[in-house]
Chains A and B, each alone.
Chain A
Amino acid sequence: MKQRTRTLALLGMCTAAAMILSYVESFIPSLSPGLKIGLPNIVIVFVLYRAGWVSAGAVSLIRVVLTALSFGSMLSLAYGLAGAVLSLLVMTLLRRTQTFSAVGVSVAGGVAHNTAQICVAAVVMGTRQILYYLPILMIGGTVAGILVGIAGGILLARLPQTRFAE
């Protein structure tokens, strides 16, 4: 019971950290629309490795909903949810295979995130024109994923081990 309470509190803290990171990220100028580092994903990668995909999914979904309600719109909620769900799914599966390190996992997550968002955009806008951005977003997602994976790896190495209950 005590362990459960502590895990709940820690996950709440992680959610808050992820929200702050998405706020901080809104101040970083973007080279091209849709190109972001995905700072909140550092927290998601960390929680995924420490507490499993259920916790990571909860933190990710709550983060996306709260961020959209505070700084965004219904449309940004749809984009955010699509990106969060597909990237978490891909990262969970790749982590299970034990083939890649956190860097590879978060690269795949970043590319999946961008692909999901551009598909939602294509449906919302009713056009395939926007799919021409996919190659750029793939490359951008890869670079972002490398940075996120390195940062997540540092967190995993530095922060104390036995803090979460599965």
Chain B
Amino acid sequence: MAKKLSRKRRRDLWLIGGILLIGGIALLLTLLLRTPGDQVVVEVNGKVWGTYDLYKDAEIRIETENGGYNILAIADGFAAVTHASCPDKLCVHQHKISRSDESIICLPNKVIVSIVTGEGE
């Protein structure tokens, strides 16, 4: 019984190691493949709401259909959501973003702020 348990434990470790390895490689790839972006794209409900220059400081109020809002601040080549009407404020607590394909997502308001490089679009 003890031996059988320890074999299961060993297989557990292989499973955990395997998932961590795949996750780690995927994480590394997404980090390495990111290049500095130059545009901030705001999408609301899956539709493009506005596009802004990442290197021109601005403060933008994003209004959503359900009457909510998010305030997007662009400063020093970084974009961040500074205020939001949603209850959980997860988007406000997310890190500011600057590299291509990074995004800040507000699930309750269905708002996505993401960085793109101009030549791809």
Which of chain B's residues has its CB closest to A146's CB? B16
- The reply to whether A136 and B11 contact each other, CB–CB distance below 8 Å, is no
Q: Is B67 an interface residue (CB 8 A)?
A: no
Mostly, the A contact residues are helix
- The reply to whether B8 and A101 contact each other, CB–CB distance below 8 Å, is yes
CB distance from B77 to the nearest CB of A (A): 19
Q: Please list the 4 inter-chain residue pairs (A to B) with the smallest Cβ-Cβ separation, ordered nearest first.
A: A126-B46, A104-B12, A138-B23, A135-B27
Q: How far is the CA of A58 from the CA of B93 in the complex (A)?
A: 35
- The reply to whether A135 and B26 contact each other, CB–CB distance below 8 Å, is yes
Q: Given A129-B103, A129-B105, A138-B26, do A101 and B46 touch, yes or no (CB 8 Å)?
A: no
B26 — which chain A residues lie within 8 A by C-beta? 134-135, 138
- The reply to whether A75 and B108 contact each other, CB–CB distance below 8 Å, is yes
- The reply to whether B15 and A127 contact each other, CB–CB distance below 8 Å, is no
Q: Is B56 an interface residue (CB 8 A)?
A: no
- The reply to whether B8 and A139 contact each other, CB–CB distance below 8 Å, is no
Q: Is A159 an interface residue (CB 8 A)?
A: no
What are 12 A-to-B residue pairs whose CB atoms are below 8 Å?
A: A101-B9, A104-B12, A104-B15, A107-B19, A124-B107, A125-B112, A129-B114, A135-B26, A135-B27, A135-B30, A139-B24, A139-B27
CB distance from A5 to the nearest CB of B (A): 34
B103 — which chain A residues lie within 8 A by C-beta? 129-130, 132
Q: Mark A88-103, 1 if CB is under 8 A from B, else 0.
A: 0000000000011101
Q: Is A142 an interface residue (CB 8 A)?
A: yes
A135 — which chain B residues lie within 8 A by C-beta? 23-24, 26-27, 30
Q: Is B63 an interface residue (CB 8 A)?
A: no
Q: Given A111-B19, A127-B46, A135-B27, do A104 and B107 touch, yes or no (CB 8 Å)?
A: no
Q: Mark B26-45, 1 if CB is under 8 A from A, else 0.
A: 11001000000000000101
- The reply to whether B43 and A127 contact each other, CB–CB distance below 8 Å, is yes
- The reply to whether A136 and B46 contact each other, CB–CB distance below 8 Å, is no
Q: How far is the CA of A135 from the CA of B19 in the complex (A)?
A: 10
CB distance from A75 to the nearest CB of B (A): 7
Q: Is A108 an interface residue (CB 8 A)?
A: yes
Q: Is A160 an interface residue (CB 8 A)?
A: no
